Structure 1
Amino acid sequence: MRNLSRISHSFNQLIFDAGEVLKNKLLRADGTVKWYRYHWRRMHLHLTSKGITEFNSNIGKQYLLDLFGGFDYATLPKRDKDVVKIINVLCEFYDTGTLVSYKERIVLDGTIGKQMKHFIRHQESMRLKPSTTKEYEHYLSRFLLYLKDQNINAMGKVNKVIILEYLKTLDRHKPSVAHMTLRAIRGFLKYLFGQGRLKVDSSMFVPKDKYVKQARLPSTYKVDEIQRMISVTDRSRPCGKRNYAMVLLACRLGLRASDIAGLKFENILWEQSLISFNQHKTGRLLQLPLLADVGEAIIDYLKYARPASGEPFVFLTGRSPVGRIYGTSVTGVVQRAFIASGINIEHRRHGPHALRHSLASLLLEQSTVMPVITEVLGHEDSASTRYYLRIDLTSMKQCMLDAPPVPSSFYEQKGGHFYA
């Protein structure tokens, strides 16, 4: 029993240390760190119940097998994928003593790595979106690791066979990954040929795929489901008052998580009953009515729950050191409210953006004209808002045409033998 106590303390220390690295090195939000530690402690209790008094990465992987069986990560629902990621983070910390950020994982070194860096800078000079150049960097770094394993140190040695062999290592359940990998490698090889660094245009060796990105149908919730989700918030606690106000901003006004977290006192025009701010995503000014229940929830939080602070932001963390919150914390609040409500969230997103979609759906059901919805959601033009038309099933049904009946003579062709 004494030994178990010692090991438990060691495991608790591991959980604490890993959380501190997440918070202080990777700058994860307090809510994120708390969520990670929650799952780590659940694993600790599970291992203790089975008499396992030590931890290593193999035990962590066995724990995942106990939870999900011989799972295929690509087919897991998002919640289970999050658990896998969280446990793997602790395994990584146990094995290495630290955690590495996404940027630190990307290493472009050696002759090929330097050429890849030149290619990335060239893409940036072409004014491609930063997210696109980051994708190129990410997928090329993976390709570079493969080339190193194959002892290939010059792009002139890369042929069609090597490219095809590399493609076999990719997850076949993720066609988008294969598509982005092909695009990055093809663009890199074409760049090298154009710069005269390759004698042959090797980009022709890169096969073409037929991948077409399918936009996902937005997740929406009915009014009664949203009301149920709002009602589960415990407003007797200071954090509950804050969470209630943030959830209402997402439900009633369709604000993004980043805009809720970044809301300042100067953005609330009490005398005019308006909320006015520049959107974090687009930079465009958005003005929305300060609805009565939203305003009352904010006042309740400010009077009875907000910590004393000179911060200009409305919503603050509930623990010391007190400071502003970020979009990830807002997302966590909404997701936990959905889970606590018992609403069926399977195959449905359940963050602030789902509430934004639900507001758009409600406005469409009420026959609100598209320009008004565009203004409410803060879109630059109606082209972005048209994305939501796919969830207006009522209007879509009005576009349905009655199919003419098939005459009986059709089925009697050639004696009707074919249709018998």
Structure 2
Amino acid sequence: MKEKIKFEVLTSDVTNYLQKLSYSHSRISQYHSAWQRVANFMKTNELQYFTATVGENFIYYLIGDRKYDDIDRWEKDIIQCTNVLSEFIETGAVKDKRHHKFRDLKGNVGKTMQDYINYKRSYRISSLTIEEYKLRFQHFLDFLENNDIDDLKLINQQVLINYSNQLIFCTPYVRHRTLSIIKGYLRFLYDQKLTEKDYSRKVPKDKYIKQPKLPSIYTKEEVNALINSIDRSSPKGKRDYAMILLTARLGLRATDVCCFTFENLKWEKSLIVLNQNKTGNRVELPLISEIGDAIIDYLKYGRPESELPYLFLKVTSPYDRLNSSTLHSIITFYLNRAGIQYKNERKHGPHALRHSLAGVLLQKKIPVPVISEVLGHKNTESTRYYLRIDLNSLRQCALEVPTIPPTFYEGGNINE
């Protein structure tokens, strides 16, 4: 690749490359949206050619004086999209980072990773955990390949330190999980006598401490303000209104809302019936009139013509279904429009509305098993996570502090 290339030519080449990798129209549109910010930055600074240095300067401009962990998720996505341009400039290719590519762990080292996954599968770990293992291993395997390490005998302490240093831009949790999985894998290699030394002991410690966080919640008044801020005169507003109601009133997860189909609507029984994407559990929820009316309004006056089974579609062609990150952006937009503060205090996506519904049900003294059914939890233990936000009930559990006799401060006997 040339070191300098006009921005519009570069983005066109990268778009063609992503299309060859079968990236969806919606994902490519997200790339274009991020690249437009880069284009605006270059125009402001009178830059005609994009280079890796230009990309780096744009990222510094975007982050400002904040830490990477403190920026929003949409900003991290912009950084990732910018790095794709730099990667294409440097290598003439883009590594496909989508999840379906993580299923194939190639080579001799990859085979031992797959053997470890099969070993863990015997302990009945969930399919989601298995996919996470594949994801972490593919990242580690890419690092090894980039450093010409294709034999287990070449893995040593320095290699592990170098890999750990590459995880500096990951969130503390992702870094912790990655190192934990690699550590278990290395222990497996030693137990199977595939390595002479137990390098699991050489994996750098990350000092990660999981801090229990209170669920992010919004008051009933704030949720209503959010809903009322939606302009329902446009097709987009009608769609957003119905989607947010499903999240705020019924507590559906973002993936379930985005994958919502016509078959999930049981009009004759006034029910919504679906199998949750996360748990696979079947849930039946009431099709309340507020939601039913919103869906009808969207179907009659907002939804584009399409043979897709999904209820909620993009408002512009191609009319693909939405993804969960889009719903997150939609809710963030209306929170800002409603003037609801959330930065550095509360999360601001679909799950926060789900938490808020749990809070409202707790305030109404709804039993935990019933809340568990509404939220579609596998068991009530997951629902007990929300008990910490029921402050009124917690106050009733508080014990009175006994009065301390004055003699205590005088050094006397407290029993006198």
State the TM-score, normalized to the length of structure 2: 0.82
The equivalent of 1:337 in structure 2 is: 334
Task: For residues 90-129 of structure 1, give each alpha carbon's deviation from its aligned partner in whole angstroms, at most 9, with x where no partner exists.
Answer: 3334444443222558996665444334333433454433
Consecutive unaligned residues in structure 1, runs of 5 or more: 1-6, 415-420
RMSD: 3.5
The counterpart of 1:319, out of the listed 282, 298, 316, is 316
User: What code does the residue aligned with 1:381 have?
Assistant: N
Distance of aligned partners of 1:42 and 1:293 in 2 relative to their CA distance in 1, 3 Å threshold: same
Distance of aligned partners of 1:408 and 1:52 in 2 relative to their CA distance in 1, 3 Å threshold: farther
1:237 matched to 2:237? no
1:360 matched to 2:355? no
Which deviates more, 339-348 or 378-387? 339-348
The equivalent of 2:247 in structure 1 is: 250
The counterpart of 2:62, out of the listed 63, 67, 72, is 67
User: Equivalents in 1 of 2:320, 2:163: separation in Å?
Assistant: 46
The equivalent of 2:379 in structure 1 is: 381
Distance of aligned partners of 1:15 and 1:148 in 2 relative to their CA distance in 1, 3 Å threshold: closer
Deviation at 1:302, TM superposition (A): 1.2
CA contact (8 A) 1:65 1:71 kept: no
CA contact (8 A) 1:360 1:373 kept: yes
User: Equivalents in 2 of 1:271, 1:68: separation in Å?
Assistant: 52
User: Equivalents in 2 of 1:198, 1:77: separation in Å?
Assistant: 42
CA contact (8 A) 1:170 1:178 kept: yes
What is the 5 A alignment of 1:253-272? 253-272=250-269
1:284 matched to 2:269? no
User: Equivalents in 1 of 2:73, 2:357: separation in Å?
Assistant: 23
1:11 matched to 2:7? yes
The equivalent of 1:3 in structure 2 is: none
The equivalent of 2:82 in structure 1 is: 87
1:346 matched to 2:360? no
State the TM-score, normalized to the length of structure 1: 0.82
Distance of aligned partners of 1:298 and 1:41 in 2 relative to their CA distance in 1, 3 Å threshold: same
User: What code does the residue aligned with 1:374 have?
Assistant: S
CA contact (8 A) 1:238 1:304 kept: yes
The equivalent of 1:122 in structure 2 is: 119
Consecutive unaligned residues in structure 2, runs of 5 or more: none
CA contact (8 A) 1:112 1:155 kept: yes
User: What code does the residue aligned with 1:396 have?
Assistant: L
The equivalent of 2:291 in structure 1 is: 294
Aligned residues: 406
The counterpart of 1:99, out of the listed 80, 84, 94, is 94
CA contact (8 A) 1:275 1:290 kept: yes
The counterpart of 1:219, out of the listed 216, 221, 224, is 216
Deviation at 1:333, TM superposition (A): 2.6
The equivalent of 1:418 in structure 2 is: none
Q: Per the alignment, in what secondary structure is the counterpart of residue 394 of structure 1?
A: helix
User: Equivalents in 2 of 1:143, 1:309: separation in Å?
Assistant: 42
Task: For residues 257-300 of structure 1, give each alpha carbon's deviation from its aligned partner in whole angstroms, at most 9, with x where no partner exists.
Answer: 22222222232222322222222222222111111111111111
User: Equivalents in 1 of 2:370, 2:58: separation in Å?
Assistant: 51
Deviation at 1:210, TM superposition (A): 6.2
Identity %: 40
User: Equivalents in 1 of 2:301, 2:311: separation in Å?
Assistant: 13
Task: For residues 39-84 of structure 1, give each alpha carbon's deviation from its aligned partner in whole angstroms, at most 9, with x where no partner exists.
Answer: 3223322321222222222112112223333653234344543433
Deviation at 1:135, TM superposition (A): 4.0
The equivalent of 1:417 in structure 2 is: none
User: Equivalents in 2 of 1:72, 1:135: separation in Å?
Assistant: 26
CA contact (8 A) 1:317 1:325 kept: yes
Deviation at 1:357, TM superposition (A): 0.9
1:76 matched to 2:77? no
CA contact (8 A) 1:29 1:329 kept: no
Distance of aligned partners of 1:319 and 1:364 in 2 relative to their CA distance in 1, 3 Å threshold: same
